[in-house]
């Protein structure tokens, strides 16, 4: 387990499959140290990893900091978070207690947004993507009791509609694209790509956030043996039975935006990826 989390236990109900697909999931409720691992993972691997949530991120941060402080010779008492204060102040019947105000020991500044977007697009970081849409929602509606995800989804749809892009096909249920209810059309994505290249003030930052085919991130094994290696930048998208690519081809004076989406495919993912590569090679001729 990485990172090590005190008291966390797992009930393993995983089985193996011969499809090569990752269908393993970690289930549990927030703040509980009991987790169950269900589903199936590829057989025949010497090692395989799946990811899950940290039950209490605030407490873990405090305990990690406490460990370093103890190593530096600083005496540490009980490690607590503000969660209990919040519950007492807002959730207990009739309770309205103020927060305890402590001394600020450290302020950590986020990386620039362009670097966050680069991480999302190059490594498909779902955690960052999920927080981004909630950050957008909280920025557009600063009521702390409003649903930040719902507000973010509403803002995103209005944003693209106001820029002349038909967003009726855009059905968002989360920020990471993991919910099976999520849907979007290839036309919407392609029009978004054209807008970002031709009209957006962030055109360069957006283009540079996308990995180069055959060289980087989730596109490291895509189009790597073709003449377009390094000339395609794109975002991949995949989940069970789904494989998609959306991005740009820049080859001399040839500049194209493209989107390819394959849903409910038969066969293996490498076969589908190879078919998409052959399709694009013919398309770009």
Judge if 242 and 169 occupy the same domain. no
Judge if 183 and 259 occupy the same domain. no
Number of structural domains the chain divides into: 2
What residues contact 35, with CB distance under 8 A and at least 6 apart? Answer: 8, 9, 10, 11, 26, 27, 28, 52, 55
The region, left, alpha or beta by phi > 0 then psi within -120 to 50, assigned to residue 49 is: beta
- In this structure, of 84-98, 119-133, 264-278, the range with the lowest mean pLDDT score is 84-98
Judge if 115 and 184 occupy the same domain. yes
Give the domain-ending residue among 165, 195, 225: 195
203 assigned to some structural domain = no
Split at pLDDT 50, 70, 90, the class of 36 is very high
Split at pLDDT 50, 70, 90, the class of 74 is very high
Give the domain-ending residue among 164, 195, 226: 195
Judge if 185 and 215 occupy the same domain. no
Split at pLDDT 50, 70, 90, the class of 95 is low
38 assigned to some structural domain = no
Whether residue 82 has pLDDT greater than 80? no
Judge if 165 and 242 occupy the same domain. no
220 assigned to some structural domain = yes
pTM for the model: 0.73
250 assigned to some structural domain = yes
Whether residue 86 has pLDDT greater than 80? no
pLDDT value of position 240: 86
Reported as a single tens digit per residue, the pLDDT across 137-174 is 999 998 888 999 999 999 999 999 999 999 999 999 99
229 assigned to some structural domain = yes
Question: Pick the residue with more confidence: 252 or 260?
Answer: 260
222 assigned to some structural domain = yes
pLDDT value of position 105: 76
Whether residue 99 has pLDDT greater than 70? no
Question: Which domain does 132 fall in, by range?
Answer: 110-195
Give the domain-ending residue among 169, 195, 221: 195
Share of the chain above pLDDT 70, in %: 96
53 assigned to some structural domain = no
Judge if 114 and 171 occupy the same domain. yes
Judge if 224 and 272 occupy the same domain. yes
pLDDT value of position 90: 67
């Amino acid at each position: 387990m990485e990172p090590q989390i005190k008291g966390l236990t797992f009930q393993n109900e995983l089985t193996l499959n011969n499809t090569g697909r990752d269908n393993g999931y970690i289930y549990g409720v927030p703040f509980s140290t009991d987790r169950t691992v269900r589903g199936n993972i590829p057989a025949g691997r010497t090692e395989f990893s799946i990811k899950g949530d940290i039950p209490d991120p605030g407490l873990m941060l405090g305990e990690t900091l406490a460990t370093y402080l103890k190593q530096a010779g600083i005496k540490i008492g009980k490690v607590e978070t503000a969660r209990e204060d919040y519950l007492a102040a807002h959730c207990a019947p009739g309770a309205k207690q103020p927060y305890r105000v402590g001394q600020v020991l450290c302020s950590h500044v986020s990386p620039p947004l362009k670097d966050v977007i680069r991480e999302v697009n190059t490594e498909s970081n779902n955690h960052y993507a999920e927080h981004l849409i909630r950050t957008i929602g909280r920025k557009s509606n600063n009521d702390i009791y409003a649903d930040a995800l719902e507000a973010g989804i509403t803002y995103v749809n209005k944003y693209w509609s106001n820029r002349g892009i038909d967003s009726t096909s855009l059905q968002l249920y989360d920020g990471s694209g993991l919910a099976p209810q999520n849907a979007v059309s290839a036309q919407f994505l392609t029009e978004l790509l054209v807008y970002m290249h031709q009209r957006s003030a962030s055109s360069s930052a957006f283009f540079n956030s996308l990995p180069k085919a055959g060289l980087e991130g989730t596109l490291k094994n895509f189009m790597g043996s073709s003449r377009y290696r390094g000339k395609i930048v794109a975002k991949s998208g995949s989940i069970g039975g789904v494989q998609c690519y959306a991005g740009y081809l820049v080859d001399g004076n040839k500049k194209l935006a493209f989107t390819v989406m394959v849903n409910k495919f038969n066969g293996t993912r490498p076969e589908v990826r190879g078919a998409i590569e052959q399709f694009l090679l013919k398309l770009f001729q």
